[in-house]
Structure 1
Amino acid sequence: MICPVCDVEMKALVEGIFQCPKCRKIIKQKTEEEQEEEKKIGKGELQEGEYFHRHASINRQYEICESGITVNKTENRWLAVLICHSAYLESERYVRLSWWKKSFYRHAGMMKIYEEDVMKNLITALEKIDNEFDDFWTFKGKFREDKTLTEEDKIREKKLDLIKYRIIENRTCPKCGKKMDKEKSHYECPHCGEIVILEGYNQPVFNIAPTDLKLNFQASFPINFYLPVAGITIKWLMGEWKSLVVIYSKENPNKKWLRFYWWVRDLKNVMKYGRREIGESSKLGWKAKKGAGTTNLYNKDLIKPLIEALKKISKEMNWNVEE
């Protein structure tokens, strides 16, 4: 076995363990199974879920990995796209973007995608970010795209305006179209259970379907510690928000990276008392999803293989994400 640092023949200490006589580096010889998995990683092929359970921190108590694709793997970092299902309900399948860190690959971060339309938005957002940022994450695009709206955009805006008008005037449920009951600070539909929160001057805040999101660049996000350059929202519900945002630190504005954000907010205080918790006003109650962790992408070159992995995984999920 040749030392990867010194390029000299290594000496065997015990079976499968070698040491370089020059730099004293100790290396374990890879098994045939590990070599096969490395070939799959290099080709971006689908790997068995058991491989991820054995080599990464996925808790079988909560979720089972069926299969996955490794996007990038180094000694200290591992990024993969997985198909998982709940340990309690096998029919509850979803796509999980997973980040692991350190040599034993403990959990670093994740984002779960349950809907086909959100996956479409994720792929579209990644393609836009790949096109509008250079290799150093410098933004070259525009926050407001061409003001000339397409027919599809006009229909989308008209639909949202109509929903808002019907809620304000007639308390019409945006989901089932029936009349909602007025509570202290929200409307609640007794027929389908849909809830519409009232903010500001009784302005309705309701769930927006993933297909109705414009996927334009924006810079207004409930981000702590870092500052946003630009990002795209791929899912927005009253209690859940997912976005892809390029961020930077105030101490080092030249270093930027992409982060996959997943926020949630608890609206029970708003519904019960008509107000949020103390200290929530600045970020409108949005908090990082528990377990979402650190979902950073530093190397822009990984966007294209990530998109390819997402498309392959979507086919396995029988999701049609092609335009």
Structure 2
Amino acid sequence: MIPLKNTHPVSPFIFFSHSKTKPLRFSLQPLSPSLLSLKSPSSLSSNLIWVSKAGVSVCRTEHHEEEEKNKGVSLELHDLSPNGEVYQKTLQLVECSMFAALTGLVYFLSNSLAIENYFSCFFSLPIVISSMRWGVDAGRKTLVATTILLFVLSGPVKALTYLLKHGIVGFTMGTLWRLGASWNLSIFLSTIVRALGAVGFVLISSFLIRENILALITINIHASLTFVLAASGVNSIPSMNVIYTLFGTLVLINSGCFMFLLHLLYSVFLTRIGMKSSLRLPRWLEKAI
């Protein structure tokens, strides 16, 4: 007799044996309940065949959902309508990406064609629009994405130049306008940020070319002021503290005038595109618009 190996005494399959003296015998035994509690085929023997595998049902009924709730399983339903959270977050991400790509491309081309001075007033506008439409977090995303894009396209110098002269200024303006700050506070803080960015740009340039540009500027101011005083008949030489104070005052005045014009330009532009209700404009400008 050559019996076939039976892998499990309670297997649901039919096993048979050949014998010259005994007739053919069939055995069919029910599946043991202990076998149903096994979770993986590896716990069974290698010769046992699995026909199907339990899975999650595709069609859910109210009874199934009620059972899952009773078991503590949370059902997450996402609203994909235009007013839903998922749609709004996706739209915010797409707009921030497009603004960052547009700003990086315009800044890169303006630097390559040496026309940066003609478009410098628009480099902060995308960050302001993102902050006004989607919040401070969106403005920060646009700033970071634009800086990283310029870092890849033009290198760290151009990326730092944009960040100090335009990026942080636009983020400051967008944040203050989003929070509903007055024009006086917005212009004052933006002027300080712009002045610090200009000084930081001079220091970075000095480090890169191995020359103290700030010292050269103050020395030239000292020489010019001494010449003017001598021509006016005043026999006095100004100290370096006076020169530093004069230099800082000139930088603040220049930054203040630039930020005032930038506030005026951006207010008119945002009003024309239908965002007047989100702006807090002075009365004289509101009447003029």
Q: TM-score range by the shorter chain?
A: under 0.3
Give the strand-richer structure, 1 or 2. Answer: 1
Pair member with larger Rg: 2
Query: Which structure: greater helix fraction?
Result: 2
With normalisation by structure 1, the TM-score equals 0.25
